[in-house]
Structure 1
Amino acid sequence: MYEGLLFKQHFEQYSKDAAENEKNGLIIAKRRFTRDEEKKGVPDSSDITEVKDLPTCLACVCLSGSVYCEETEIEEVPPLPKETAYLYARFNKIKKITAKDFSDFPTLRRIDLTGNVIEEIDEKAFEKLVLLEQLSLAENKLTRIPVLPTKLISFNANHNLIKSKAIKANAFKKLTNLAYIYLANNQLDSVPPNLPESLRVIHLQHNNITSITDDTFCKSNDTRYLRTRLDEVRMEGNPVILGKYPNSFTCLRTLPYGSYFK
């Protein structure tokens, strides 16, 4: 709801800003291109304001550091304004994320690519995004998780094809700010290892997890260890019977959601 209200406010302001032709990084046409018999569709240069390195904003909405490219049927990440902080490119036809797509945009704080058809992401595609806090790759066709930025707070990869063997042992270990992991509706057969101490919520429902260990969430060699921040673990819809592993939750403040009896 918050994002919807924010987008509405931005969009309402867009017409006003365009009329004033402020220097806000937008590409603004004085009037639409016209076609005549002599020019064959080539617009007169006097009819267009100076382009300011933002070709994407002709097809998308660019406002105050945010780029909205939703349901535009684009097949790759578009060129972005250099000061882009928030990218919303949901429900398109993007198939691949390359290492070059975000290499020149260290100001990015949020990327939402939900609802595309992404099958492949270059291993270092997000490596240079030192400020990125929120990344959503939900509802795609991913089979593995790439290297994630160190300051990430929220990672959403719900509804993909990710398997446990495709998640590196230390994929989340060094992400000391990571608080939210969403991996529901994938093909995991185990809980990702080495979950960070910063974790507050992890969603693993509707996977193929069959068992857990005393070290999955806790530390079997430290009976005093507590995960004081982790207060939501969802594992319903998995074959695992949680009641068989009572020592796996002794460090948690609340029990995981899931099946405890057959």
Structure 2
Amino acid sequence: MSRLLPHVALLAILIGCALCQYEDYESYYGPSHMLGPSGPNCAPECDCPVNFPSAMYCDGRRLKSIPPIPPGIKYLYLQNNQIHEIKSGAFVNATDLRWLVLDHNRITTNAVEEGAFEKLVSLEKLFFSYNDLTEPVSPLAKTLNELKMIGNKLSKLPLGSLSGLANLTSIHLQENELTSEGISGAFKGLSSLVYLDVSQNRLGLLPAGVPSSLEMLYADHNEISSVPKDYLQQLPALQYLRVSHNKLADSGVPAGVFNVSSLIELDLSFNNLQTIPEVHENLENLYLQVNQISKFDIESFCKVVGPLNYSRLRHLRLDGNNLTRSSVPLEAANCLRQATELTVGATD
């Protein structure tokens, strides 16, 4: 059991992030002014609290370039500045760096000089959101476990840009310009990946070639119109799937495609579905609001109803469809005996 604890803790953290899907880095650290005076080796533009000597706070200083980094710094906060380039020697003394936060700057891919990240051999977290990247920076340290590039101008992830990152567990790519072709094969070999968010992009399909270790996949607000029949069969660990605000229709959803035992939560809201897709009895949360569903088919949840045969659904939302309370058959009470929320109609 003890071997499972680190994995369970990681899953709990990632589920927390999922509940506030666009959580930023601010929960990771405290204000520098609460940590006491700055140490003597710190860059004058920043704070290196003597009570937290491994951190350097340079956030919100109107910086246009990365200041000198003294040896021994493990946590570097450079968010909310005006940095527009990263020189090749910017991190020459930062071989101990674990976390690097570069969110909300003006950095472009072309302004990151070759070799700029090669000294960051111990990097674990790279937060590079809300800049002007058109491609991810590479190569990255093999120790990296979390990568955030939200709100850039990424249209593709070139093959090999994430290769060798066997420790990477979490990737956040929402609010970019990614296409299905542009990310094809990009996640191959990421054997530890459990969380992938590609929401608010231009995907026509769910990402192909994702590793079988994946447990959470978020692809809301894209242009996805179909799901390959065997897609989820290749993801035996997948528990949370969100494909809301897309273009899914019955013709693009093969029979039984979502009927997999691993899924705990499935969000298909704000699509063009006309029928309730068949789901596995293990599913606990199903969101289908604002589709075009006109029939409550009990067989979508229960093929057979009995003492041991029933749906484990707890939350089922069907509001915003062509259904009313009278659309729900009486036998649904026995099939959905564990449901605590069943929302049907506009005002339920």
Q: Which TM bucket (shorter chain)?
A: 0.7 to 0.9
TM-score by length of 2: 0.58
- Decide whether the 8 Å contact of 1:14 with 1:63 is kept in 2: no
Structure-2 residue corresponding to 1:186: 271
Gaps of 5+ in 1: 27-40
Structure-2 residue corresponding to 1:142: 224
Structure-2 residue corresponding to 1:165: 251
- Decide whether the 8 Å contact of 2:276 with 2:297 is kept in 1: no
**Alignment counterpart, residue 176 of structure 2, candidates 79, 89, 92:** 92
- Point out which structure has higher relative CO (alpha carbons under 8 A, 6+ apart): 1
Q: What SS does the aligned partner of 2:299 have?
A: coil
Q: What SS does the aligned partner of 2:286 have?
A: strand
Change (3 A) 1:6 1:73: closer
Distance between the aligned counterparts of 1:44 and 1:239, measured in 2? 57
Change (3 A) 1:182 1:49: closer
Distance between the aligned counterparts of 2:209 and 2:251, measured in 1? 20
Distance between the aligned counterparts of 1:201 and 1:237, measured in 2? 17
> Which region of structure 1 is more displaced relative to structure 2, 10-19 or 248-257?
10-19
Structure-1 residue corresponding to 2:199: 114
**Alignment counterpart, residue 149 of structure 2, candidates 69, 77, 88:** 69
TM-score by length of 1: 0.75
- Decide whether the 8 Å contact of 2:150 with 2:174 is kept in 1: yes
**CA distances 1:206-262 after superposition (whole Å, capped 9, x unpaired):** 00001122312223x43445536311000000002341322234211336201299x
Distance between the aligned counterparts of 1:211 and 1:189, measured in 2? 8
State the Cα distance separating 1:11 from its structure 2 match.
7.5
Amino acid at match of 2:253: I
- Decide whether the 8 Å contact of 1:136 with 1:156 is kept in 2: yes
Distance between the aligned counterparts of 1:201 and 1:213, measured in 2? 17
Amino acid at match of 1:238: N
Distance between the aligned counterparts of 1:99 and 1:44, measured in 2? 25
Alignment coverage as a number of residue pairs: 239
**CA distances 1:164-220 after superposition (whole Å, capped 9, x unpaired):** 2211223122x3221000000000001111x1222110000000001122312223x
- Decide whether the 8 Å contact of 2:172 with 2:197 is kept in 1: yes
Structure-1 residue corresponding to 2:5: none
Change (3 A) 1:237 1:80: same
**CA distances 1:128-156 after superposition (whole Å, capped 9, x unpaired):** x1210000000001101241211101000
- Decide whether the 8 Å contact of 2:291 with 2:320 is kept in 1: yes
Gaps of 5+ in 2: 1-14, 31-54, 58-72, 77-92, 101-110, 127-134
- Decide whether the 8 Å contact of 1:73 with 1:93 is kept in 2: yes
Give identity over the alignment, percent. 18
